Structure 1
Amino acid sequence: MSEVIIVGGGIIGLLTARELVQSGAQVRLLEQSTLGQEASWAGGGIVSPLYPWTYSDPVTALASWAQDYYPELVSRLYQETGINAELNACGLLMLDAPDEDDALRWAETHNKSMQRYPGADIQAMEPNLTAHPQQGLWMPYVGNVRNPRLLKALIASLQQSPLFSVETHSRVVGFEPSRGERLQVQAKQGKSAKQVVFEADRVVVCSGAWTRQLLESVGVEIPVVPVRGQMLLFEARPGLINHIILRQGKYLIPRLDGHIVVGSTLEHTGFEKATTADAKAMLLQHAYSMVSALKEVPVVAHWSGLRPGSPAGIPYIGLLPGWRNLYVNAGHFRNGLVLAPASARLMADIVLGRDLIVDPTPYDPAVDRSSEPMH
């Protein structure tokens, strides 16, 4: 039986652990804080990249696989745990996209359902819309998942397996080859930062925005940087909006209970996670410009998270150069929730030597993408 250590307990680490455990591997997960409380918890949960035609084919390949798999994943987790991740197949309305012709060509090429709608049709779909667009794009297949509940379901499912164990408040600080083909993982645990050493046949680093700093300790450069995103939550009634609404890069996401999530900022502030009054004011302005009725709805939460920014938004998935048993699955930027099921499956396929769901070459950590812009 293969023993695998996973570093990082966000959506990528948890789903990678699930894939490996279901294949019979013994998995120990090390998390520097508590499970599922960083970018995975903070995101909006839209199961599509924003403006998907602006991304490269490697992102589209993972997103398409994951979108097809999400209903099955949420259903299975509900059966296993009784926790419903609330996949809401509500569709997405994109108002006044600047390059609609490019979008429609992309949709045709990739066999995605996308239609151009006149403003009157959009207004009929969303009677409370005050943006009054001249026209827009309708993507009926795009839904959203309630990511905190998805994370709870994943954790509950994994904890049912005797093959899975977890060490929270365990900050990994280094890796060293051990006897045979095994690898040692050094970590500091708890408030006392007690030094502990774990050992496994293979190690997968799924540490999100912290990946670059961690892998620098073994001389590997993975250009992943933290990018702060701030969000708001309105305690709205069901039916105030019916679909995800995207305009000028900002979005409204309806949850099944009627709450509406508003996002998001893109801020290069290092590892600073504090929320700001300026960001709140900006998000409120965008929300009110789309649906003015939100002015009468209380804001019940304002939070932030640190996305793992990467060149071209393409995650690093694969064996690290110079290592035989140290892998990485990180750098999903704005699309962690979107790409997670596919990147976890691909990572497990690589680790276990199985047939691969997509060509792994574009995600290879040995490929230098440092000159490409962040997306």
Structure 2
Amino acid sequence: MILVGLNLRPALSSLAPLLPRIESQAGLPVLAIGALTTLPVLCLGLFAPLAPWLSRRLGAERTLSLALLALTLGLALRGLAGPAGLFGGTLLVGAAIGVAGTLLPALVKRELAESADLMTGVYTMALCLGGALGAGLSIPLADGFGGWAASLMAWAGLSALALVAWAALMPSPGTLPPPPAPTGNTRALLHQPLAWQVMLFMGFQSSLAYIVFGWLPSLLVERGYDEATAGWMMGVSVLVQLFAALAAPWLARLGRDQRPALLLVLSLVGSGLWLLLLGPEDGRWAGVALLGLGQGGGFSLALTLIVLRTADSRLAGKLSGLVQGGGYTLAALGPLAVGVMLDRALSLAQITTALLAIVMAAAGFALLAGRNRRLETDPQGRLITR
């Protein structure tokens, strides 16, 4: 699971530092580049709801194998130096990550029910490490391998390794305990305000995350940093997410109410963005650290909420599909909006104001999703919030 998690972010974070080179060498306009940053996040949202459906028909283990195979093929296709390969591979990568990322919380809930929230922090830490590697190594790989296309294609090797390891070590469906009785359905979830609150929190905090993945290096270059420095600043910020991702579930366990933890990490995100884009240059590394701590904790807590707000693994899988499907679809608007703002030559101050508005929206839904509530079924089999 940890090795799989390591592969779910390099495909996204490795693209951002290379955007200036892709724009100049591939001849793509700014709006096309904006679409390129939006496409994988949109695919996360569109394909995440397919994960529970595929899991019922093929089994969670085989579905995850297929997702890793699609991820490997997409990464290889994306390295073909042309717009068709770049966009086609990015679409396949987004679809694969959408399915794999949705399956993981349900697998954790099933395999490690008593410590599912802490295991969520561990594999989220792997996600953050993968993101840091993708951001930090993109420019060196491009310089070493002779171009941005080879740099993007190189990550297919890590994905292939995860596929081989998962095929060898995944649980055997024949040895698994019987699945729990069906609990609720996706349509019933749509009538539960708690499901919407968790989904919208996921959407707004993920929007900030994918804006950082897609545009932070470009925004830093806009401020005056060179592209290598901007890439490393983003890489260090994502690396810092490791510590917050592991610590956040422990912080959430201090009480049954997760609102204080959620508001803390969002305040760190807002402070980090302000320091990096508008604050004094001497405070840039403090901004890098604050942004990393906030985003690592925010994403880990968002996934932890899926586990804490459901009574069993089947319901966790359905909520995961709804939350990540709807949340990532909403999140896709963030990178697209930043691309439009850059195309219209808005100032860094205006862009930063828009980002802080997203932080405030996420905080509003954190106050609702962080309350001590849980989705479960009553004796009559009806889905309720208790």
TM range (shorter): under 0.3
Higher relative contact order (CA 8 A, sep 6+): 2
Larger Rg: 1 or 2?
Answer: 1
The alignment's TM-score, normalised by the length of structure 2, stands at: 0.25
Structure with greater strand percent: 1
